[in-house]
Structure 1
Amino acid sequence: MTAMEQHPEAPLRVRDAAQLAWDDGADLLVVGFGGAGVCAALEAASRGASVLALERFAGGGATARSGGVVYAGGGTPQQAEAGVEDSPEAMYDYLRQEVGDVVSAETLRGFCQQSSAHLAWLERHGAAFQGSVPPLKTSYPSDRYFLYYSGNEAVPDYAALARPAPRGHRALGSGMSGINLFRPLAASAQQLGVRLQRQCEVRRLVLDAAGAVLGVEAWVLPPGSRAARTHARLSRWTDALHPYAPALAARWRRKLRALETAHAERRLIRAQHGVLLSAGGFVFNRAMLSQHAPRYLDGLPLGTSGCDGSGIRLGESAGGATAHMERASAWRFINPPLAWARGLIVNADGRRYCNEEVYGAKLGHAMVEEQGGRAILILNRALMKEAFAQVGPGKVWAFQRLPALLNMLCNARRGDSLAQLAERVGLPLVNLQRTLATYNAAARGECADELGKSAGLLASLEQGPWYAMDLSFASKLFPCPVITLGGLKVCERSGQVLDQDGAPIDGLFSAGRNAVGVASHFYVSGLSLADCVHSGRRAGAHVAGLARAVRSTRGEQQ
């Protein structure tokens, strides 16, 4: 077990708050200043509460490094700009298929009904969105487009139950849009008086005799110190390097921990009305991943160094219950190039098992949970030529182009006959022949595709030569990104953390991927950030209401 994976210290238990000499305090303490944390801070501050955010690194978390996509619908101005018709009911009918029963129907309906208002709220705080829709299906649009089908909405099986509409609202700006979403929100929070303490790690909670959360014990690197400067530089390098050299990034995380252990100073910080845990998921914690979701250990952890489960473990230390910890999302995107999605995916037995046009997390789930992590893409020469053309310079993002080119050039086995291909890849020939024959019949229009693939994405593979690329979960040439989805159980009306008996823990809240929410079952692009907005605002509003009620009572007494 590494230093990053240690359990948090047991809570500091005192008789009452007056027993301690507090170094600082606020109505709301936000532990983790990413997407959920900044939204909670904004909501609470706008309602008159004092807010202090405690952030181990620079702030932004996984949100700032994400694609900046917010899943929103029901009739947003951007949808209207694009000529798209949508309604909260259609959005609900679709999301019910993805979300399952991870949250109540009432909560999901509220999420859909408030969706457009949440987007407008983000805009009031400086984020910007636009209604330009790309002409073709894609995992992430270019800088020309900012509204797209970010999930399975247009896949026939889903569209049969819910009228499809593009709901992936990407924050306006060049490059990956996560920073374009987070930066204006953080600036707005500062203007509202939210204080931010960077390089500050919460190591344990402070509880009173009844188990209510009074505040936190935090450890802060001295501002401006050599240790603080080294920590800031190293943390930036670590998160930037991780996708390309994860082993080296892991070593640097251990150096970060060593700096914190040697140089951080203890602070006791009082939360007058609530501590919000919004420190992300646990994909970087190998011990937790081994315990809860071991099938996903071979994936590429997606996020930042703060996604180490610390917030979840803090909640557990106070008696908080967790749920859906086994849920993780593996992203096996095979589009772009679109030609890949017109081919077919088979398992180790040479049998097709998933509609190739589905969202990458849907394909990834089937690959990991049902097929032992195996995914072999079958194309022919015509589709390979299409694929090379579709990832030419200026047509797609570098992070989409480079893996596609690398795999087509270095990971493609060729067979001039299916027998030769089966031998070179190690697939049963009879099964492979049967799979292609069935697929080709659907492509010729002789029957419907057995897995429900749209006619426009079917391509006859009768003419060879054929190619097979092993895109399995453990692929070194095509690493599969993974995020975790489970977390602390919370009250769906307030965001308050629940204990093992389902009772709320006084003074403790959670939001975002630190908690169970609408994105804790299946993932589609933008759903996690939308949940950060929804759950963050919910908790911030509740704590601000508690603070207002106490002030009102004190005013009446005076």
Structure 2
Amino acid sequence: MVVVGFGAAGACAAIEAAVAGADVLVLDRFAGGGATAMSGGVVYAGGGTPQQQAAGVPDSPAGMAAYLAMEVGDAVSERTLRRFCDSSVDMVAWLAEHGVPFDASLCPYKTSYPSNKHYLYYSGSESAGGFRDVAPPAPRGHRTKGKGTSGKVFYARLAEAAKARARVRTQTFVRRLTMTDDRVTGVEATVLTGLAARLHRACGKFAAKPGLYVPALRKRLSRWALALERRGRPVRIAARSGVVLAAGGFVANREMMREHAPEYRGGLPLGTIADDGAGIQMGVAAGGATAHMERVSAWRFISPPSVFLSSLLVDSRGQRVGDESRYGAALGHDLVKYHGSRGWLLVDKGLVAEARAQLSDQTVWFQRLQAMYLLRREAVTASTVDEVARRAGIDPAGLVATVEAHNSAARDGKPDPAGKPGEFVRVLDSPPYSLLDISVKPSAAYPCPMLTLGGLVVDEDTGGVRREDGTVIDGLYAAGRTAVGICSNSYVSGLSLADCVFSGRRAGVHASLRRTRAHG
């Protein structure tokens, strides 16, 4: 069996197929890791995991499914979502068995990503207004235990487990699938060796970081990588047990982004230069259908510091964007889709003082820098709400009306006009007032990370790639962000990695079953 891509989905597919007895060859364009190694290492899991139990957190598969049903929508069937939730405890155990470390330290405040003191937290909109009434809120963000952004630890442990069971060949760019009588039989690829391979590996490494934050450098390194690939040795590899496409999304492909999600401009492509849609394009060339290609997750987190959840997020008309306690990707989606990508946080003197006090304890280094940048470089300040609106270029009458309606409800103990839960509501009446510009725009200091959520349509029982007519392409599977999955409608932190594990394992198991059937 050939696995294309060595991130979380590819590693999980390789492990399961190899355990089932398949001879597995994993091919990766660069050195492996992909967006997984760059991520925060958060896995969305619940239903009563050991970490939840140790932290004294009650949860159930039914409660997890009730919440996720509101986020997932029609991306997958109710049966698949329930299977995902019912197997969540087992998934965490499986990851732990393969060396991924988790911890039960519960974060006591709402945040987009916990500090190195905490590894279990509310990673979605579970406790936001409109959600907690449908399903009992529970923290389900299981951050891999490791300092900084711990995706590198998550990936390293999975990669080690995969390499112990399967062959892995890096610096190998899969260009196309080979087919015989509508059946996928292998791949054609370009292999780099020697000095060319080492240079190519360096291009991929530095295009990820610091290239992620320096677009000009990333673009140049991408061109160099392509030039090296043109000099590689072409090979054909047979895949009697099938091919699993786990090559990531297409956020690094500007043409595909313009075609499918033209509104999402100015964001930070969260992935590597290998997230260029090559896996999706190969599947389409083989006859595969796609869906949800317009869905992009744009992260506009406003916490930490957690006190920012008590600010007011407004648009250019001075009107509320929505409940500020919702997950950052939900806020980012609304800013892009309905507010021209423009947004400001209204804060007062007291809130700013509390925010500064929370920075040292609630943030990891990059969050601290971003919050300080907002407070210093993206802030417009004035003694009245009317004047701060004028200085920021926001409709003064609209903002004054919004603040008065919010403060009046807060003083009278009435429901917040935007539906924000009471624990996050506070009267904002302590001048001077500031508007912090959190608009989605190109910015290295305060970027808006984005990743694509759509991909190849797959059979939800096997991971086999479907054609437009619903039939399955023999010998072809897809997983992770190359495929439509649990998070293809709406992303919350940890849901993509969890789906990579879920879909990767599924594809690996069923590809190995195909091998068993083929060999009698």
The residue correspondences of 1:203-282 to structure 2 (distance < 5 A) are 203-208=175-180, 210-222=181-193, 225-262=194-231, 264-282=232-250
1:154-200 CA-partner distances (Å, limit 9, x unpaired): 113101000111111111222211121111211112222x0001000
In structure 2, how many angstroms separate the alpha carbons of the residues matched to 1:184 and 1:244? 26
Q: 1:48 touches 1:544 (CA, 8 Å); kept in 2? A: yes
Task: State the partner residue of 2:377.
Answer: 410
Task: State the partner residue of 1:183.
Answer: 156
Task: State the partner residue of 1:202.
Answer: 174
Task: State the partner residue of 2:339.
Answer: 371
1:65-90 CA-partner distances (Å, limit 9, x unpaired): 11111111111111100011111000
How far residue 475 of structure 1 moved from its aligned partner, in angstroms, is 5.3
Q: 1:71 touches 1:169 (CA, 8 Å); kept in 2? A: yes
Q: 1:442 touches 1:458 (CA, 8 Å); kept in 2? A: no
Q: 2:296 touches 2:450 (CA, 8 Å); kept in 1? A: yes
Q: Would you say 1:286 and 2:254 are equivalent positions?
A: yes
Deviates more, 1:411-420 or 1:145-154: 411-420
The residue correspondences of 1:89-168 to structure 2 (distance < 5 A) are 89-168=62-141
How far residue 419 of structure 1 moved from its aligned partner, in angstroms, is 2.3
Task: State the partner residue of 2:487.
Answer: 519
- 2:41 alignment partner, one of 68, 78, 84: 68
In structure 1, how many angstroms separate the alpha carbons of the residues matched to 2:175 and 2:141? 36
CA RMSD of aligned residues (A): 1.1
In structure 1, how many angstroms separate the alpha carbons of the residues matched to 2:482 and 2:203? 24
How far residue 388 of structure 1 moved from its aligned partner, in angstroms, is 1.6
SS in 2 for 1:273: coil
Deviates more, 1:368-377 or 1:285-294: 368-377
Task: State the partner residue of 1:549.
Answer: 517
Q: 2:268 touches 2:442 (CA, 8 Å); kept in 1? A: no
In structure 1, how many angstroms separate the alpha carbons of the residues matched to 2:353 and 2:105? 29
In structure 2, how many angstroms separate the alpha carbons of the residues matched to 1:445 and 1:147? 35
Q: 2:213 touches 2:268 (CA, 8 Å); kept in 1? A: no
In structure 2, how many angstroms separate the alpha carbons of the residues matched to 1:174 and 1:431? 43
Q: Gaps (5+ residues) in structure 2? A: none
Task: State the partner residue of 1:324.
Answer: 292
In structure 1, how many angstroms separate the alpha carbons of the residues matched to 2:380 and 2:324? 20
Task: State the partner residue of 2:429.
Answer: 462
- 2:411 alignment partner, one of 423, 437, 444: 444
1:240-283 CA-partner distances (Å, limit 9, x unpaired): 11332122111111111111112x10110000021010000000
Q: 1:71 touches 1:526 (CA, 8 Å); kept in 2? A: yes
- 1:333 alignment partner, one of 298, 301, 306: 301
How far residue 519 of structure 1 moved from its aligned partner, in angstroms, is 0.5
1:462-487 CA-partner distances (Å, limit 9, x unpaired): 22111011111115352211000000
Percentage identity across aligned positions?
Answer: 49
Task: State the partner residue of 1:8.
Answer: none
Task: State the partner residue of 1:82.
Answer: 55
Q: Would you say 1:355 and 2:355 are equivalent positions?
A: no
Q: 1:286 touches 1:297 (CA, 8 Å); kept in 2? A: no
Q: 1:75 touches 1:87 (CA, 8 Å); kept in 2? A: yes
SS in 2 for 1:507: strand
In structure 1, how many angstroms separate the alpha carbons of the residues matched to 2:116 and 2:94? 23
In structure 1, how many angstroms separate the alpha carbons of the residues matched to 2:216 and 2:317? 33
How many residues are matched?
Answer: 519
Q: 2:305 touches 2:362 (CA, 8 Å); kept in 1? A: no
The residue correspondences of 1:521-536 to structure 2 (distance < 5 A) are 521-536=489-504
1:326-372 CA-partner distances (Å, limit 9, x unpaired): 00010000001122221101111110121111110011111111111
How far residue 375 of structure 1 moved from its aligned partner, in angstroms, is 0.8
Q: 1:200 touches 1:221 (CA, 8 Å); kept in 2? A: yes
In structure 1, how many angstroms separate the alpha carbons of the residues matched to 2:449 and 2:38? 14
SS in 1 for 2:74: coil
One-letter amino acid of the structure 2 residue matched with residue 201 of structure 1: F
- 1:310 alignment partner, one of 278, 298, 321: 278
One-letter amino acid of the structure 2 residue matched with residue 258 of structure 1: A
Q: 1:218 touches 1:268 (CA, 8 Å); kept in 2? A: yes
In structure 1, how many angstroms separate the alpha carbons of the residues matched to 2:217 and 2:287? 35
SS in 2 for 1:78: helix
In structure 1, how many angstroms separate the alpha carbons of the residues matched to 2:420 and 2:136? 17
Q: 1:69 touches 1:529 (CA, 8 Å); kept in 2? A: yes
Q: Gaps (5+ residues) in structure 1? A: 1-27, 554-558
How far residue 442 of structure 1 moved from its aligned partner, in angstroms, is 2.5
- 1:492 alignment partner, one of 460, 472, 476: 460
One-letter amino acid of the structure 2 residue matched with residue 465 of structure 1: P
Task: State the partner residue of 1:33.
Answer: 6
In structure 2, how many angstroms separate the alpha carbons of the residues matched to 1:71 and 1:278? 20
How far residue 395 of structure 1 moved from its aligned partner, in angstroms, is 4.2
Q: 1:331 touches 1:361 (CA, 8 Å); kept in 2? A: yes
In structure 2, how many angstroms separate the alpha carbons of the residues matched to 1:429 and 1:239? 42
Larger radius of gyration: 1
How far residue 546 of structure 1 moved from its aligned partner, in angstroms, is 1.4
